[in-house]
Structure 1
C-alpha cells in the first residue's frame, strides 16, 4: 500500500473516531451509546495498529471494547426501566452551557499541555531499550510492565480484584456467598448452545497462545485472560455451565494467588537483588513468566465474574 493510500486510511480512521465520539455524547438512548462505545474501542484498536503498537491494540480490543463494552451493556439493561424518566429530565440551558464550557476548557488544557512539550519530547524509551536485554524478555511491552513498571502492573491486578469485591458487595444479604448472575435456561439444541460447544476449544487455544507468546511477541496475560473469560461466559450464557458460588474456597484462592505470588517475588527481590520488585541477575525472565502464569487464573476468573455480576441466588447448603 502506497503512502497516499495509508494517509487516506489514517484520515478516514481519524474522522470516524471523532464522529463516533460525538455521536456517543449526543445520542440519548443508553443502549445505542454503549454500542457506539464498543465500535469506538474497535476503531481505536485499528489506530493503535497503524501506530505500530499491536500490544496496545490487542488490549484496547479485548479490555476497552470487549470487556468494558460487556459491562456497559449489562448496566444499560438494568437502567432500561428508569431511562425514560431520566430522559424526561432535560437539563436547563445554564447546566448545558456550563458543561460545554468545562469540556472546552479541559480540551484546551490538554491541547496546550501536548503542544507545550519540548521537541524532542522527554522520554525514558532509550533507557528502557538499553536495559531490555537484562530482563531476557523479547517483548518490550512485557519488559516494561513487569520489570521497569512492575508496581503499576501489581496495582492493576489488585484494582481488578477490588472492583470484583465492589460488585459482590451489591448482593443482597440472603444471596451472599451464592451464585453470581441469574440462572440461565437456554435451548440445549439452539444456536447459542451450538456456538458454546464449537467456539470454546478454539478460543482456549488462541487465548493460551496469546498469553504464552507475550514474553517475546505481542500478546500477554490481560489479552489472553480476556479471551478465556469470554469463552467461559459463552458457555455460561448458553446454560451449559453455571457460575461457581463465591463462597467456594478454590475460587477465592485462585482469585488471590496471582497478586500474592507477585508480592512474594517482589519482596524476595529486596533480598536477592537489593530492591523490591527487582529480579536477581539471570533470573528475570523465569520470574516474569512465573508472575504471569500466577496472574492468569486470577484475571480470567475476575474478568468473567465481573461480567456475571453480583451473587443473586442462594448459596448451596
Structure 2
C-alpha cells in the first residue's frame, strides 16, 4: 500500500469514528442545545464523507439542507421553547432507548448486507444514464436523472416542500394570518451580525446563482443554489437589513408556486407529445435550465419562509 493510500485509509477510519461519536452525542446527549450542536456537526461530517465517496451533489445538499437549514430550524425551535419557558422533554425510558438502538443497528446491518450482496463490478444504472444523457441537453448525470429520467420524483418533492410551508402557516393565530412571519429581529447597527448581513449577501447571491448554472454540467443545481439563496435572505433578515414580507403578498405566492407550476406545465405539454415530462432533444437543455431557474426561486422562498415560521405579526391597520 502506498503512503497516499495509507493516509487516505487512516483519514476515512478517523472520519467514520467521528461520525459515530457525533451521532451518539446527538442522540444520547442530556443537554438539548448540546445535542443540537452535535447534530449539526454530524451533518457536516456526513457531507465530508459524501465528498470522500465522490458524491459532490449529495455532499452539497447534506451540508446546505441536512446540517445548515435543518440545524437552524432546530435551534430556532429550541429558542422558541426557551421564550415560552417550556420544560425540556423528559428523557426517554431506557427500554425505549434500547429498542431504538436495536432497531437502528438492525437497519444498518440490513443495508450493509445488501451492499455486500451486490455482484462485484456492478455499475447499476450508471452505464444506461451515460449512454442516454445526450438527449437531456445537460452533462451532469445527477441533473439528468433528477429533471429528466426521474423528473416526476423531483416534481413531487417541490410540491411536498410547498405543502410543508402551508402546514407551517396553518399553525398561525387567526389574528396574525396574512401578516409577517416570525418575530421582529434586532441587531446592533455596528455589530458583527449587522456587518456580515451587509457584506455576505452579494457574495452569497453570486455563489447561489453560479451553483444553479453550473448544475447543468457539474455538481450543483436548484436545491443547492436555492438553499444558499435562502440562507442569504435569512442572514439579511436576522441582521435587520430586510423585513420579512407579508405571506399574503402576491409576489411571495408567485415565487413559491412558480417552480412546481412551470415543472408541471412542462410535464403536461410533454404528455401531448406522448410522454409526461418529455423534452424535445433540440430544446431539452433550455427547458431544463428554465425549470432549474423556476425551482430555485421556489426552493429559496419556501426554505426561507419555513425557517422564519408561521405569521406572527399582524400588518399595521389589520383587524385584531
Shorter-chain TM-score tier: over 0.9
Distance 1:98 1:6 in 2: 35
Shift of 1:167: 0.8
Q: Superposition pairs for residues 92-171 of structure 1, below 5 Å? A: 92-121=93-122, 123-171=124-172
Q: How far has the Cα of 1:183 moved from its partner?
A: 1.0
Tell me the CA shift for residue 240 of structure 1.
1.6
Q: Aligned equivalents of 1:194 and 1:19: distance in 2?
A: 35
Q: Which residue number in structure 1 is paired with residue 64 of structure 2?
A: 62
Distance 1:94 1:307 in 2: 34
Residue of structure 2 aligned with 1:82, choices 69, 80, 86: 86
Give 1:250's aligned residue.
251
Q: Is the 8 A contact 1:27 1:33 kept in 2?
A: yes
Give the alignment's TM-score, normalised by structure 2: 0.92
Q: Deviations over 1:273-298 (max 9, x none)?
A: x2001111221111101111111111
What is the SS of the residue equivalent to 2:86? helix
Distance 2:157 2:94 in 1: 40
Task: List aligned pairs for 1:171-182, cutoff 5 A.
Answer: 171-182=172-183
Deviations 1:176-195 (A, max 9, x none): 11100011222222221111
**Counterparts of 2:96 and 2:42, CA distance in 1:** 27
1:110 positional shift: 3.4
- Summarize the Cα distance change of 1:127–1:158 in structure 2 as closer, same or farther, 3 Å threshold: same
Across the aligned residues of Structure 1 and Structure 2, the Cα RMSD in angstroms comes to 1.8
Secondary structure (helix, strand or coil) at the match of 1:82 reads: coil
Q: Which runs of 5+ in 1 are unaligned?
A: none
Contact 1:179 1:245 survives alignment (8 Å):
yes
- Residue 215 of structure 1 aligns to a residue whose secondary structure is coil
Deviations 1:254-283 (A, max 9, x none): 1111111000011111223x2001111221
Q: Name the CA distance, whole Å, in 1 between partners of 2:58 and 2:99.
A: 35
Question: Once the 2 structures are TM-superposed, how far is the Cα of residue 44 of structure 1 from its aligned partner?
Answer: 0.9
What CA distance in whole angstroms lies between the structure 1 residues aligned with 2:203 and 2:94?
53
Q: What's the counterpart of residue 270 of structure 2?
A: 269
Give, in angstroms, the shift of residue 109 of structure 1: 3.5
Confirm or deny: 8 A CA contact 1:176 1:315 kept in the other structure: no
Q: Secondary structure at the match of 1:312?
A: strand
Structure 2 equivalent of residue 289 of structure 1: 289
TM-fit CA distance, 1:112:
3.6
Q: In 1, Cα distance between the equivalents of 2:129 and 2:139?
A: 13
Residue-pair matches, total:
313
Q: Are the aligned partners of 2:137 and 2:281 in contact in 1 as well (CA < 8 Å)?
A: no
5+ residue gaps, structure 2: none
Q: Partners of 1:155 and 1:249 in 2: how far apart?
A: 23
Given candidates 50, 53, 56, the residue that maps to 2:52 is 50
C-alpha distance in structure 1 between counterparts of 2:45 and 2:294, whole Å: 32
CA contact (8 A) 1:31 1:77 kept: no
Partner Cα distance (2:198, 2:259) in 1: 29
Deviation at 1:93, TM superposition (A): 4.8
CA distance in 2, matches of 1:92, 1:61: 32
Q: Secondary structure at the match of 1:46?
A: helix
Q: Distance between the aligned counterparts of 2:48 and 2:71, measured in 1?
A: 17
CA drift of 1:97 comes to 4.1
SS of match in other structure, 2:312 = strand
Question: Distance between the aligned counterparts of 1:295 and 1:94, measured in 2?
Answer: 44
